[in-house]
């Protein structure tokens, strides 16, 4: 799912997104090390990045997908059955993709809350 040159797949967020997230969660020195592909010393950095990605990116898109599905369900086939089916299928795919990304990308401690709240 492209996010304006940023991508989300079942494996998680693309490297470009990972680098952008790290600007929010790392100090400058550690961010430079991360961009250079070097290990960052603090093991909590991954936890911070996971929490940021979950709360500021993945949960936002999951909520949007849930809202779109609810609106389509309420709307019914008023927009035409074929269009409705395509939109339902696509938003369901997006929702499933987000859940897979959380399972594959986010550590189990941070991701557990996501699944507890959604029974995903």
CA 45/CA 33 separation, integer angstroms: 12
How many whole angstroms from its chain centre is CA 75?
Answer: 26
Global pTM?
0.76
What are the start-end ranges of the H helices in the chain? Answer: 15-25, 28-35, 44-53, 59-75, 81-105, 108-118
Listed by start position, the domains of the chain span 8-118
Q: pLDDT of the chain along its 120 residues, tens only?
A: 544 667 777 777 888 888 999 999 999 988 998 899 887 667 788 888 888 988 898 899 999 999 999 999 999 889 999 999 999 999 999 999 998 888 877 765 555 556 556 654
């Amino acid at each position: 799912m492209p996010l304006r040159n940023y991508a989300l797949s079942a494996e998680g967020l693309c490297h470009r997104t990972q680098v952008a997230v790290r600007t929010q969660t790392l100090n400058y020195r550690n961010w430079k090390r991360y961009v250079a592909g070097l290990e960052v010393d603090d093991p909590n950095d991954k936890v911070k990045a996971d929490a940021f990605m979950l709360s500021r990116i993945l949960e936002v898109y999951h909520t949007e997908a849930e809202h779109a599905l609810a609106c389509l369900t309420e709307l019914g086939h008023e927009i035409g059955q074929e269009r409705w089916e395509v939109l339902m299928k696509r938003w369901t795919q997006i929702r499933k993709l987000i859940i897979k990304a959380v399972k594959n990308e986010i550590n189990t401690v941070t991701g557990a809350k996501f699944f507890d709240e959604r029974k995903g």
